[in-house]
Structure 1
């Protein structure tokens, strides 16, 4: 079993086919990531009539860094073009509120699919491949439900079901990591490491699930085969770090960090443009 290219495209944002849902449905507070407060259901003032962002090329300079590190995992186009069959919220006010409520639920389902697709491609998890495939099929069926049914989903229960398989996958991958004589850093789940200095540290095969790595110095660190699901890498310095083979690392996490041309990423991820400026 393997993941097709079209499957991977389905869990990546396609803003051209979305009605700007993340720019309307989601709230945010004025902070280092956003220039002003916005309530859910209120369109961002930068959202244009064609559902494009008026400052897309200058989001960071304009105080909207948070937008550059958000990923809907393809939920935007799914809700816009499939769930609501191309009906937009501006012309169909009767579906406006419901669409904005469906979107974050769909985002969670698509995020789970993204991780499950990666798990399916991990040869180390071949022993549970059938279970992973079943989870993918079940999750995909949920994304095909009508709006009313989506809003009634027990998303927490389904996430627990999926997470069990993701944890197993992580354990299989990390169990095969050969450690050298250099002591690997050991961390507890969800540990707060904000601003810590880990320059040159050995995190090879580490469990970084839920770790707060905000503004950490991870320059030249060995992060190969580390599990990054839920890890917060905002403003972490990963210049020269090696993240090849890492597990469940997303483009969003990479975008939120600071790296350079020496940073080694998994082939599925791209070097953010702001690293090179």
Structure 2
């Protein structure tokens, strides 16, 4: 199956108007230096909608910013949905925030469907990606009234089928640790190849030196997980924000096209 032309699925802040810095709330508990409510511009947002401390975010206590990824939703909402208008031009920032959330979800679904198509041909039904791309280009009212929950459920079923196909179905699949709380655990002695860890909590878990070939990482909380020397190149449904939250090094192997976080040493 060949995919239709997809929107850019990674952030390009130069094409955005600082939407995440204005529309989204954030909290000290989630790795931000201060807490703020949605619709309030971040104090670090410059007049040109760039970040005044972008190069020193972690050092200055804004770890949460370095973990965040909009999957290209910010620039898409700015340039496509609102035809280049900034948040400064909007009277209803609540609507714009809701649209940003919907589009980010659509882009994340497209990202995972792209992986499913590459790794498990013929699993993604005809028309599903086209349906999401069409909705992605819709006006704000259409985006906010669409049945995104139904769409999410259908995409979830496709991803489960793709995961089972890649991991070898029940006969050849690895261990099932879905939704397990593995926070802080030393997992270096475990064979996690072809395992499903989807939805699991691996905060501060030790994954050093492991090979995660065909391991389902959909929705896994990898904040501060130690992936030094870990081979993530063939992991399933790994995303940039998950990687951004980990601790890696030069020996960590990432999938093609994924950026190495600047804080890795």
- TM bracket, shorter-chain basis: over 0.9
- Aligned residue number for residue 62 of structure 1: 60
The 5 A counterparts of 1:1-277 are 1-3=1-3, 7=6, 10-31=8-29, 33-90=31-88, 92-122=89-119, 125-129=120-124, 131=125, 133-175=126-168, 186-276=175-265
Q: Which runs of 5+ in 1 are unaligned?
A: none
Structure 1 residue 224: deviation in Å?
A: 1.2
The CA distance in 2 between the partners of 1:275 and 1:200, in whole Å, is 24
**3-state secondary structure, aligned to 1:245:** coil
CA contact (8 A) 1:218 1:241 kept: yes
**3-state secondary structure, aligned to 1:72:** coil
Structure 1 residue 265: deviation in Å?
A: 1.7
The CA distance in 1 between the partners of 2:221 and 2:102, in whole Å, is 21
Structure 1 residue 14: deviation in Å?
A: 1.1
The CA distance in 2 between the partners of 1:269 and 1:63, in whole Å, is 24
Structure 1 residue 87: deviation in Å?
A: 1.1
Query: Which sits farther off after the overlay, 76-85 or 237-246?
Result: 237-246
CA contact (8 A) 1:177 1:225 kept: no
Deviant stretches of 4+, over 3 Å: 1-4, 176-179
Structure 1 residue 116: deviation in Å?
A: 0.9
RMSD across aligned positions (CA): 2.0
Structure 1 residue 134: deviation in Å?
A: 1.7
TM-score (norm 2): 0.93
CA contact (8 A) 1:201 1:222 kept: no
The CA distance in 1 between the partners of 2:24 and 2:113, in whole Å, is 25
CA contact (8 A) 1:33 1:65 kept: yes
**3-state secondary structure, aligned to 1:126:** coil
Structure 1 residue 218: deviation in Å?
A: 0.8
CA contact (8 A) 2:77 2:100 kept: yes
Q: How many residues align?
A: 265
1:166-193 deviation per Cα after TM superposition (whole angstroms, max 9, x unaligned): 11111111118997xxxx9734321111
Q: 1:178 to 1:168 in 2, by over 3 A?
A: closer
The CA distance in 2 between the partners of 1:264 and 1:231, in whole Å, is 18
Q: 1:87 to 1:261 in 2, by over 3 A?
A: same
Q: Which runs of 5+ in 2 are unaligned?
A: none
1:99-147 deviation per Cα after TM superposition (whole angstroms, max 9, x unaligned): 122111111111111111111122xx22324x0x421101111111110
